[in-house]
Amino acid sequence: MDFETIISSCELNEQPSHLNVPSTWSQGRTVFGGLSAALMLKHMFNQLNDDDRRLLSFNCNFIAPLFATEPFTINTTILRSGKSVTQIESRIEQRGSICLVSLACFGQQRPSNISVESQSTPSTLNTHINDANTIQYVEGIFPAFIQHVDLNIQAGAMPFSNAESTELHGWMKFKKMPQKTALELYILALADAWPPTLLQLCDKPSPASTVSWYIEFLQPLETSMLDWVGYEAITHQASDGYGIEDAKVFSKTGELLALSRQTVAVFDS
């Protein structure tokens, strides 16, 4: 079952929604975080039902494992809808416990005399994508969800390679390109597909998990921005089992689309 089929489920029109996700979208013992976050965001879009308000930011806390193949519930609440901004909360519950909580901010575009162009441009991304650098899914080696995405590494290293660099750059896309999916859902899911950059510092396989994730969308997205999307991430600081990772998401033409920050827990001792 591909990403668009899951994200287009008619159950997401219900409040609350009752769903389950196939094991092919698992990441260790939990559902791939990018998919679970996208499901909550899609539920928010459905409850908002206002095309004039675009997504500005999305924050997600991963509280407990969300098990694949088991039923879960998504509940969404519009906390406040003002003249310009709407704030929405969404929760996923399974086995009687809260697994994920997210907050999103949607804003209506308004006339303004202030316009500041982004100064960020891709630092090492080459628009010529060498297929040899695309990760090939191997069952039992990579998380199951990797079979649905293409990750093309251009700088950095593989997890558990005892590398010295904390940076990871590359291109990303779904193997089966969504045709009707909101672009924010596409970017959100893909931005969580890369392994945390601090894993490449490990000298042996070590579990890691995202504790919290915050992502901002900087401009209205266009269909032409689909296909390969650029990703540049770096761990700024790590100690005592936790690391802070920042990432930038670019279009193929070099436009900055989103800024992401994650707090990652690693268990390498």
| Res. 221: pLDDT tops 80 | no
Is residue 252 situated within a structural domain? yes
Is residue 174 situated within a structural domain? yes
Is residue 116 situated within a structural domain? no
The CA distance from 94 to 64, in Å, is 9
| Res. 197: pLDDT tops 70 | yes
In the numeric block, which tokens belong to residue 184? 């924010």
Lowest mean pLDDT segment, chosen from 108-112, 142-146, 237-241 = 108-112
H or E stretch at 34:
helix 33-48
Is residue 197 situated within a structural domain? yes
Mean pLDDT across the stretch 250-260? 91
pLDDT for 265 equals 94
Is residue 113 situated within a structural domain? no
| Res. 77: pLDDT tops 80 | yes
Number of residues that make up the chain: 269
Q: What is the pLDDT of residues 31-59, one digit of tens each?
A: 999 999 999 999 999 999 898 999 999 99
Domain coverage including residue 7: 3-108+124-266
- Max Cα distance, the chain (Å): 54
pLDDT for 225 equals 64
Is residue 114 situated within a structural domain? no
User: Residue 53 in contact with residue 107, Cβ under 8 Å?
Assistant: yes
| Three-state secondary-structure class, residue 53 | strand
Q: What is the pLDDT of residues 113-133, one digit of tens each?
A: 887 777 778 877 777 788 888
Place of tokens 């558990």: 160
Q: How confident is the model at residue 189 (pLDDT cuts 50, 70, 90)?
A: very high
| Res. 142: pLDDT tops 90 | no
CATH of the domain at 30: 2.40.160.210
| Res. 223: pLDDT tops 80 | no
Is residue 63 situated within a structural domain? yes
Is residue 28 situated within a structural domain? yes
User: Total domain count for the chain?
Assistant: 1
**pTM for the model:** 0.93
Mean pLDDT across the stretch 251-266? 92
